[in-house]
Amino acid sequence: MPEIAGEQLPAIPLALTPKWLGARLGHKIRSIENTRTIWGTGSKLFYTITYEQESGGGERPTHVCVKGVFDPAMIEAQPWTVSLARREADFFSKVAPSLKNMVFPKAWWSGTSDKQGIAIMDDLTTTGCTFAPEVASYPFEKVMNGVEQLAGLHAQYWGQSQEEHPWIWNNYDPAMKFMCAAWDQVVRLPGRPQLPAYLMDGRRCNEALDRYYAERNPRFRTLLHGDTHLGNVYFTADGRIGFLDWSAFHFGSCFHDVVYHMTTMLRVEDRRAHEMEILDHYLETLHRLGGPRFDRHNDPEVMIEYRRSFMTNVIWLVCPDGLQSKERVAAFCERTVAAYNDHEVIDVILGQPKPAS
């Protein structure tokens, strides 16, 4: 149920009252207990709910996570955080109900106003789910399960674009371009991970980023999760991967999701050993679930687009201090640089003929 037009959603935790939550969940609530809070650009407030009456039928949650932007100072300093909250609430109300073949948190309600986006989801920790630490790596079989689910999302929206879904505007590319604008300054700050010489050239790397975004092959266009790194996954009680943080979904090249997920989940050695096996599994699953059939051996455009798509990992090379932990940035930067070296990402992008204007 979307929010009533013109009605403002709670902007601070104190406004998340039993009455407000009860109205969204459709049950009278006697009391709520805030068990913990995770602050961030999208804050997560966890509650245990006590209802007025025993259940009279129908599902209702006892442990919920309420996600939104609940820090007025952050909204004032970083107003773009509201657009992320609204985007994630829109995912749960407009995309999730019909999404197949993916694991993601169950949402009980979501809605938006002009200054807020809120999703009321299951508290995954109470359902036996676990989360990755700041720095970790996993067996390639886990990544196989992850790309299976991404293939399901991609197959369902294959070939579609913002023209069919005008409300899904691309909020991802502008954010990456903004962060990469200060490339030369950021990569030379004290304490930053050491990069090879060719990745210290901000002008050339930004040119590659611009061309990657401008020249993505439309043969591979679909709806993306957009931010499939290790920090945005969880593991269900039965060992499957689930995907969190749906604030960056947009239309782009399918391999964006695949390589970003793979690079951050695997050690460099494991990616090198199993990369083509994972890619083949993704392509096979994509076709099985209704997408096109691609042959990386006989269709050179497949591997060109795949190799170009590693540009997606660029955030780890220039990630601002405070956005992610130093430990995570260092580990993922190492994995990113290895992938850039292996696939000659910058040269592949800049070496392609420029499209006719």
Q: Can you give the pTM of this predicted structure?
A: 0.94
Dist. CA 46–CA 126, nearest whole Å:
11
Residue with tokens 């050491």: 194
Cβ-in-10-Å burial (0-12, 13-18, 19+) of 256 comes to buried
- pLDDT digits (tens), the chain, 357 positions: 455 445 689 999 999 999 999 999 999 999 999 999 998 888 999 999 999 987 666 789 999 999 999 988 877 877 888 999 999 999 999 999 999 999 999 999 999 998 899 999 999 999 999 999 999 999 999 999 999 999 999 999 999 999 999 999 998 999 999 999 999 999 999 999 999 999 999 999 999 999 999 999 999 999 999 999 999 999 999 999 999 999 999 999 999 999 999 999 999 999 999 999 999 999 999 999 999 999 999 999 999 999 999 999 999 999 987 788 999 999 999 999 999 999 999 999 999 998 876
CB 200 within 8 A of CB 318: no
10 Å Cβ neighbour count for 270? 17
Type of residue at 351: G
Per-residue pLDDT, 250: 97
Per-residue pLDDT, 74: 78
Strand order in the sheet with 43-51: 29-38, 43-51, 63-68, 116-122, 107-113
CB 244 within 8 A of CB 91: no
Residue whose C-alpha is closest to residue 134's, from 326, 307, 283: 326
* 116-122 and 221-224 strand pairing: unpaired
CATH class of 13-126: alpha beta
Per-residue pLDDT, 5: 47
Is the domain defined by 128-351 classed in CATH 3.90.1200.10?
Answer: yes
Point out which residues pair with 36 in neighbouring strands: 46
Cβ-Cβ contacts under 8 Å for 250 (sequence gap 6 or more): 162, 168, 169, 170, 171, 172, 173, 223, 224, 226
Per-residue pLDDT, 56: 62
Per-residue pLDDT, 104: 97
Task: Collapse the DSSP code of 244 into the 3-class scheme (helix H, G, I; strand E, B; otherwise coil) and give the result.
Answer: coil
- The pair of structure tokens assigned to 192 is 């930053």
Q: How far is CA 224 from the centre of its chain?
A: 8
10 Å Cβ neighbour count for 74? 16
Residue with tokens 């996993």: 138
The domain spans of the chain are 13-126, 128-351
